Amino acid sequence: MVHPNPDAGGAGSPLIEFRTLSKIYGTGTAAVAALRGVDLTIDAGEFVAFMGPSGSGKSTAMNILGCLDVPSAGSYRFSGTAVETLDRDARATLRRHYLGFVFQGFNLLARTSALENVELPLLYRRVGPRERHQRAAEALATVGLTGWETHTPNELSGGQQQRVAIARALVSLPTVLLADEPTGNLDTVRSHDIMHLLRDLNQTRGITVVMVTHEAEMAAYASRILSFRDGQLESSAAARGA
């Protein structure tokens, strides 16, 4: 496989690039163009928000970024590697080593402690128990959950559950954090708490953050907003800041 260079994205070379990228679902008269010739670039260390109405293509773009889907045409380059040329196993390796995921629904194992939930990505990478425990505890500390390691999800608030999910995404030391509606199940106060955390991780650790959101108030935490409509990138503009 071709291994991406995690140091790419500097000196004018984008970390992430779509070149006339399209995604079509179905065939013939049933074909639906979810993305139509999208060009975009994201530099290392950016915090970017994808916005747009339902069906605009923003979630499809996120799925392709996360190697959960592949384009029908065009190119997706990650650190200079043409991802669309990689086979399934190579895409899974890229996803496992370079990308962290945070979802609206938290996706935590219900009967498993916070520490064990955070350890899961390291278990899949066959990291030894002692190192797993240490790195998971450090990730929970990063998101402000020291002392909550043994609690299961039903013993945590929604905001705390999302923090566990963010710690799980961070434990593998990803280059890019992909957040899909990360505040969608949270109240206003906890939503802002999570957004402050994501912005802090971006600014203090240099993690590239790409977020899908319907909420302009949450998108304002990003440095740049990419607006999608009808499968095309309608605009790219600096966020106003929160």
**Burial group, residue 232, by CB count within 10 angstroms (0-12, 13-18, 19+):** middle
153-165 pLDDT, tens digit per residue, is 999 999 999 999 9
At residue 12 the predicted structure's pLDDT band, cuts being 50, 70 and 90, is low
Any idea which architecture 16-236 has in CATH? 3-Layer(aba) Sandwich (3.40)
190, 178 contact by CB (below 8 A):
no
For the chain, the domains span 16-236
Q: Which residue has the higher pLDDT, 77 or 185?
A: 77
- The pTM of this model reads 0.90
At residue 28 the predicted structure's pLDDT band, cuts being 50, 70 and 90, is confident
